[in-house]
Structure 1
Amino acid sequence: MPARGIPRGVVPGAIVGAAIVIVAGLVVVKVSGLGAAQHRSPSPGANPSSSGPGAAGLAADFARLQSGIAAGIGLIIAPAGNAASPMTLGQWTIGPAWSTMKVPLVIAAMRENHSTEVSDAMRAAIVSSDNTAAESIWESLGDPAAAARAVEQVLREAGDPTPVESRTIRPQFTAFGQTLWSLADQARFATFAACDNRDAPVRALMGQIEQDQRWGLGRIPNAQFKGGWGPSEAGAYLVRQFGFVTNPSSGAVSVVAVAVEPASGSLSDGMADLTEIGEWLNERIAMLPGGRCGR
């Protein structure tokens, strides 16, 4: 499945406390503070801790999973509304946001419009990862520097310090998609967005991703997510997703940010790797650190 929504102007076919560190094989598990939102902070309900026997069990299980996947992997799981207790698995940490940056981009446009109305371009940018639609949203925010500031403001609301790229670094790709977005900062943003009522329309769009992009987290029933994928200058693909998954028994919501760099460099291998991780998460959904947004 070729990449979709990455080349600019082209929409091809589908495609706290003390830290706890557990090392198992190549797995690194850390429970550490991501920092609180700087502005409006959602009020979560009681959240299970990301430490303790559950975390150790997930770490051991993840070590076994990772040993069978030929890829660099990063995975962060956190309770919705609580950025202070993420669980970090794997060693991959940062890379281009690719189309995952379309989520804060669409939110920025909603803020700019003082509206929660979903436009056709917003729907296409999220549901189909349509890059032309996303570019039109970016341009509606002003010149590249102004657009970058608008998206940065959305991130800052969540306490995410990521600087949004305004320059066209690689002409065939969007500027904002080349933003270097760490998994930790992406999870920080997502824990806030999970509980911000203003973002509900975007979360709803993330639950309507088109069928041919429902790999990875898309294998989890009722997941709301967005993927991003693209090649390095050498042609090796990074494939990443983030989103929200709900425990069907308890109703607790977990934020997940995940990325893989397959050893083969192949997009299809990266998609398959993320699907394996998504199925692994689904089988252990009751073990994931989850939270409830304040009423």
Structure 2
Amino acid sequence: MAAAAVTAAALSACTIPPRSGDAGTGPGKTITQIVVVPPESTTPLVPAAPPAAAGQGPLAGFDTLAAQLGGDSGIALAPVGGGQSIVAGTLQSGPAWSTIKVPLTIAALTAPGGSGQLTSVAQAITASDNAAAEQLWDSLGDPPVAATHVQAVLQQFGDPATVVESRKTRPEYSAFGQTVWSLAAQTQFASFLPCHTEAAQVLGYMDDVEADQRWGLGTLPNTSFKGGWGPDEQGRYLVRQFGIISTGSGQLAVAVAAEAPSGSFNDATAMLTQIAQWIGTRVATVTSGASC
């Protein structure tokens, strides 16, 4: 597959009621690094080189924005078709929450008889309906089997490292939603969504997310996205999104995450909106993937 590099010249919502609280990683220095994953690699995602100095390349200035926002936040970019994932910020991984519904719905649709589950797929993506997602998960078999199917989709779409959770580590939440998914791995996965016909219907639903979930990346034009959110055991919210931004030079995969100083859901979504607007001022100068 052809892959274009991101040059210096040059995004899963859970239907649970927001409340105060935050899944924090603690304060730290902003990190900018490059992760390289060959499109057909079967090896884990690992840094190809030591972290670069903060604020380089197309993410220059993110550390300043993050400091102004407070709390913890992170971002990753990758060109569509595979290539380098460029990351910045103090928050680079955490529970997937409802962002995992994207590979889950693809797994369900491509399973035998999956075409009959289109209504549940649409609800799981556009409304982030948890009951619909659980139905799709159950259709894939017992939890370990279902996790294997979803993980196979991740591997097919350029993310060989993420391990899909099959156990309910927190009884009140889905097993799959507690999958630990890094922003770098998520952008690798997203970068191949436009390249596979199996993802076409799901990607279409990512264009039609309901209005009350169109914060963050949802405020940008020409963006397909899915969000996810949930509290840690202290009630503090991690809020994250990933998706595809169409630019003048092609398409760009992006993943963002935030945990507000207050720990609240609303404050974290406001952070993501500010981060998305910051991205929006820069996408015209980013050379993004032009083909798969």
Q: Which has the higher contact order (CA 8 A, sep 6+)?
A: 2
Q: How many angstroms apart in 2 are the aligned matches of 1:205 and 1:122?
A: 9
Is 1:255–2:289 an aligned residue pair? no
1:174 equivalent in structure 2: 174
Structure 2 residue aligned with 1:188: 188
Q: Is the 8 A contact 1:244 1:255 kept in 2?
A: yes
Instruction: Describe the superposition over 1:234-278 as per-residue Cα deviations: whole angstroms up to 9, x where unpaired.
Output: 00000000000011x33x100001111112110001000000011
**Mapping 1:28-177, distance limit 5 Å:** 28-38=31-41, 56=56, 58-82=58-82, 84-113=83-112, 119-157=118-156, 158-177=158-177
- What is the CA–CA distance in structure 2 between the aligned matches of 1:261 and 1:111, rounded to whole Å? 34
Quote the offset at 1:38 in angstroms: 4.6
Q: CA RMSD in A?
A: 2.3
Q: Is the 8 A contact 2:14 2:97 kept in 1?
A: no
The separation in 2 between residues aligned to 1:65 and 1:117, in whole angstroms, is 45
How far apart are 1:115 and its partner, in Å? 5.9
Answer yes or no: is the 8 Å Cα contact 1:100–1:226 preserved in 2: yes
TM-score of the two chains, using structure 2 as the length reference: 0.83
The aligned amino acid for 1:293 is S
Per the alignment, residue 200 of structure 1 pairs with 200
Deviation per CA, 1:4-24: give whole Å up to 9, x if none.
6345xxxx69xxxxxxxxxxx
Local SS of the residue matching 2:33: strand
Residue in structure 1 matched with residue 23 of structure 2 by the alignment: none
1:201–1:263 distance in 2 versus 1, CA, 3 Å = same
SS in structure 1 opposite 2:132? helix
For the structure 1 residues 105 and 266, does the alpha-carbon distance in structure 2 shift closer, same or farther, using more than 3 Å as the test? Answer: same
Residue in structure 1 matched with residue 14 of structure 2 by the alignment: 5
* Closer, same or farther: CA 182–70 of 1 in aligned 2, 3 Å: same
Paired AA for residue 137 in structure 1: L
What secondary structure is seen at the aligned counterpart in 2 of 1:96?
A: coil
TM-aligned CA distance change 1:38 to 1:59, over 3 Å: closer
CA offsets 1:213-249 (integer angstroms, 9 cap, x no match)? 00000011021000000000000000000000011x3
Q: TM-score, normalised by structure 1?
A: 0.82
| Distance of 1:95 and 1:168 partners within structure 2 | 16
* Distance change in 2, residues 1:159/1:38 (3 Å): farther
Q: Aligned equivalents of 1:293 and 1:200: distance in 2?
A: 15
Following superposition, the deviation at residue 125 of structure 1 comes to 0.1
AA at the equivalent of 2:197: N
CA contact (8 A) 2:32 2:88 kept: yes
One-letter code of the match for 1:193? L
Q: Displacement of 1:289 after TM fit?
A: 4.2
Q: Secondary structure at the match of 2:73?
A: strand
Q: Where do 5+ consecutive residues of structure 2 fail to align?
A: 1-11, 19-27, 43-54
User: Aligned partners of 2:132 and 2:92: how far apart in 1?
Assistant: 29
- Asked if 1:214 corresponds to 2:223, the answer is no
The percent identity for this pair of structures is 43
> How far does the alpha carbon of each residue in 1:186-230 deviate from its partner, in whole angstroms, 9 at most, with x for none?
111111223212211111100100001000000110210000000
Aligned match of 1:45: none
Q: 1:73 to 1:4 in 2, by over 3 A?
A: closer
Match of 1:228 in 2: 228
Name stretches of at least 5 consecutive residues in structure 1 with no aligned partner: 14-24, 40-54
| 8 A contact 1:162–1:181 mirrored in 2 | yes
Instruction: Please state whether the residue corresponding to 1:275 is helix, strand or coil.
Output: helix
CA distance in 1, matches of 2:280, 2:261: 24
Among residues 282, 285, 288, which one is paired with 2:283 in the alignment? 285
**Aligned residues of 1:6 and 1:131 also touching (Cα < 8 A):** yes
The letter of the residue matching 1:111 is T
